Amino acid sequence: MNYFRTGILMAAMTGLFLAIGFLIGGQAGMMMAFLFAAGTNLFAYWNSDKMVLSMYGAREVDDASAPDLVHLVRMLSQNAQLPMPKVFIAENPQPNAFATGRDPEHAAVCVTTGILERLSQEELAGVLAHELSHVKNRDTLIMTITATIAGAISMLANMAFWFGGDRRNNQMGAVGGILIMILAPMAAALVQMAISRTREYEADRMGAIISGRPLWLASALKRISSAAHQVENLDAQANPATAHMFIINPLHGGNLMHLFATHPSTEERVARLEAMAAEMGQAPERGPWS
């Protein structure tokens, strides 16, 4: 992974946050934005798993409440040489999954009830291996902090529109507030997109290695993508800044929330996985997970 590039992108998002604060309230506004950005980052570092999981009403499960799922996560974690993460299920009809946590020792993997109902055991293994790759690459912290700052940028943009900022320092007035409201979320989404797309490709690749079967994940991506276009995820609609954390974009494209469509195309991801399977000499088959 290109962590230098990720650092630049994170700095760009923080810089955008400070710039909006300056436009709203001058130097005082920029200082307030800096303090708020530092506070949200610190909060996200220590509470990223709890924060996101609570947004989706996820409940923790164990060997007694979800034995098959927990067993599968344990096997894949051993393959990935990772500590066993906490396992959660979110009551949501849309098939999807995400991982969160500040490091592998404090990680959590969450799947929806929709994904458990629609995917085979092999396909589910591919998805879980993908999420464990995010944990192994320490993507989860960056993805959660990005979501936190992006949400804060949107909040600042709304404040600029409704309150007009400090007009003694803000020379753009109402027009400037409208421009901030429109452009700031777009810029934040672009930064999210650049971070997320690179990491999704790498998680696909490493997840295929962890599971040993690239075609399991390829099949899962096709099935999830098709269903996600038909089944709404109301929790994700309410928290669009978290969309990049899911394995497939949970938002529908019929409104302004498509600005947060941070994922690469499913077709390109599937094509890469199929090419990887061909290089490994693999054809579609059932594996040892069932």
CA dihedral of residues 197, 195, 279, 206 (deg, nearest 10): -120
pLDDT tens for 192-224 read: 666 667 889 999 999 999 999 999 999 999 999
Question: How does pLDDT run across 229-258, given as a tens digit for each residue?
Answer: 899 999 988 887 788 889 999 987 654 444
Query: Which candidate in 122, 123, 131, 200 is catalytic?
Result: 131
Residue 285 lies in a domain: no
Cβ atoms 88, 66 nearer than 8 A: no
Cα gap 21→16, rounded to integer Å:
9
Q: Are strands 59-61 and 97-100 parallel, antiparallel or unpaired?
A: unpaired
Domain range for 181 is 3-278
Q: Name the pTM for this structure.
A: 0.79
Number of structural domains in the chain: 1
Please give the residue that has the higher pLDDT: either 283 or 54: 54
Residue 287 forms part of a structural domain:
no
Domain contains 283? no
- Within-domain flag for 289: no
DSSP state of 83: P
- Give the contacts of 25 (CB within 8 A, at least 6 positions apart): 32, 165, 166, 169, 170
- pLDDT exceeds cutoff 80 at 63: yes
As a whole number of angstroms, the distance between CA 191 and CA 31 comes to 22
| Residue 286 forms part of a structural domain | no
Q: In the annotation, is 131 catalytic?
A: yes
Query: Is pLDDT of 165 > 60?
Result: no
Q: Quick check: 277 and 221 in contact, CB under 8 A? A: no
